[in-house]
């Protein structure tokens, strides 16, 4: 059995979330225990969330797999462009993950016929995401943890103002990063351009998902007043 096929079979076995001894895996696949040890080390090094050790067994804690799929040429270009946008974008952690993902895509997907030409014509290149980079990791964390924030932000007249908010979503509107939030200061929804944020202070308070102030409510308000935006999956 080719090693690539064996690695695939190992992943399928481990997807049940149970502890598997190397000896049992070796017997099932018809290889030596040492081969299983080497395979497990390779899978772990590739980023698979495998836990275990020799003499104990192995378990896949967070099975994250994608089913086999066929992509049309245009779909593959869209995938590459999306990864490039994140790799060149605002969050250092996501940028590193995007670069890693790009390498994995390159190993299984054919290179574009016009590599380096066609895709560059559509690659987004704007300074706004780069200027926003100091804020995005903190905002993503606050959104995930439902943490109240105090913002120091420039208003449309260029005046410094302070807002107490409940962060709900990060989004791209055109080439501008924006934060969607419920603003406790103004008692209403608001959208803040990240290029206007001067400072963010976490308040250490968790807000409840109150009716009328949730992300779904913000999206309805946005659709009526602010137009569409592409949200970041946090």
pTM score, whole prediction: 0.53
Say whether 36 sits in a helix, a strand or coil: helix
Query: Exposed (0-12), middle (13-18) or buried (19+): which is 117, by Cβ within 10 Å?
Result: exposed
What is the reported pLDDT for 188?
A: 93
What is the reported pLDDT for 181?
A: 94
**Residue segments in the chain with a per-residue pLDDT below the cut of 50:** 114-125, 228-234
Phi, psi (degrees; rounded to nearest 5) at 37: -60, -45
What is the reported pLDDT for 90?
A: 62
pLDDT digits (tens, 9 = 90+) for 162-175: 999 999 988 766 66
Q: Nearest CA to 164 among 204, 136, 193?
A: 204
What is the reported pLDDT for 8?
A: 77
């Amino acid at each position: 059995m080719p090693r690539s096929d064996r690695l695939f079979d190992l992943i399928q076995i481990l997807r049940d979330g149970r502890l598997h001894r190397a000896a049992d895996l070796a017997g099932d696949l018809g290889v030596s225990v040492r081969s299983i040890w080497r395979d497990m080390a390779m899978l772990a090094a590739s980023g698979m969330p495998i836990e275990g050790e020799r003499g104990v067994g192995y378990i896949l804690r967070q099975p994250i797999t994608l089913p086999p799929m066929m992509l049309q040429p245009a779909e593959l270009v869209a995938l590459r462009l999306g990864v490039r946008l994140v790799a060149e974008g605002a969050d250092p952690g996501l940028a590193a993950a995007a670069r890693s993902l790009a390498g994995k895509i390159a190993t299984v997907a054919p290179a574009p016929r016009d590599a380096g030409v066609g895709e560059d014509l559509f690659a987004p290149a704007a300074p706004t995401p780069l200027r926003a980079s100091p804020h995005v990791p903190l905002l993503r964390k606050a959104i995930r943890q439902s943490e109240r924030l105090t913002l120091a932000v420039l208003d449309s007249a260029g005046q410094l103002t302070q807002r107490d908010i409940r962060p709900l979503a990060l989004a791209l509107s055109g080439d501008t990063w924006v934060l969607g939030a419920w603003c406790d200061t103004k008692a209403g929804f608001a959208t803040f351009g990240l290029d206007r944020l001067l400072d963010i202070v976490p308040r250490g308070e968790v807000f409840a998902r109150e009716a009328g102030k949730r992300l779904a409510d913000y999206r309805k308000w946005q659709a009526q007043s602010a137009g569409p935006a592409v949200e970041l999956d946090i």
